[in-house]
């Protein structure tokens, strides 16, 4: 798979549950932060985009938990984006533990953009990410 972005993290103690592993919901925080950094790496500021009346929203999240991260684990979120319909896009995001590159989580996050009237569309600046203008 040809990922277009990657971001490294380290598990913090407070992200772990009583079993000593990263709480399942925390993985969504990792994925979201990686998506925001992906956008930033392409000159798109999430907060500024929202201020213009364009809201990027998640409409579906499929997470396949493969293995568990634990405190102090280093890991990388690798992402790619593709358009799946005229008004939807998907982020394929995988989390790999470092340094052994063990797959910990595979996710597909489907999103869209809503205009000021709440109607789905894909703004031109996102279309540029798909290579379709």
Q: Annotated catalytic sites, by residue? A: 17
The DSSP letter of residue 118 is: S
Q: Please, what's the largest Cα pairwise distance for the chain?
A: 48
Q: How far is CA 71 from CA 10, 74, 79, in A?
A: 8, 9, 23
The DSSP letter of residue 50 is: H
Helix (H, G, I), strand (E, B) or coil at 115: coil
Nearest residue to 67 (alpha-carbon basis) of 29, 94, 93, 92: 94
Residues 6+ apart with CB under 8 A from 114: 54, 55, 57, 120, 121
- Residue 80 near residue 2 (C-beta atoms within 8 A): yes
């Amino acid at each position: 798979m040809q990922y277009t972005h990657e971001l490294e993290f380290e598990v913090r103690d407070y992200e772990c549950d009583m079993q000593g592993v990263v709480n399942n919901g925390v993985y969504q925080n990792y994925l979201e932060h990686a998506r925001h950094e992906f956008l930033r790496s392409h000159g798109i500021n999430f907060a500024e985009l929202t201020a213009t009346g364009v809201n990027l929203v998640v409409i579906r999240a499929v997470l396949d938990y493969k293995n568990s991260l634990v405190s102090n684990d280093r890991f990388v979120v690798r992402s790619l984006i593709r358009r799946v319909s005229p008004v939807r896009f998907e982020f394929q995001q995988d989390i790999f533990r470092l340094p052994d590159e063990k797959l910990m989580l595979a996710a597909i996050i489907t999103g869209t953009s809503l205009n000021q009237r709440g109607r789905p569309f894909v703004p031109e600046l996102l279309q540029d990410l798909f290579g379709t203008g």
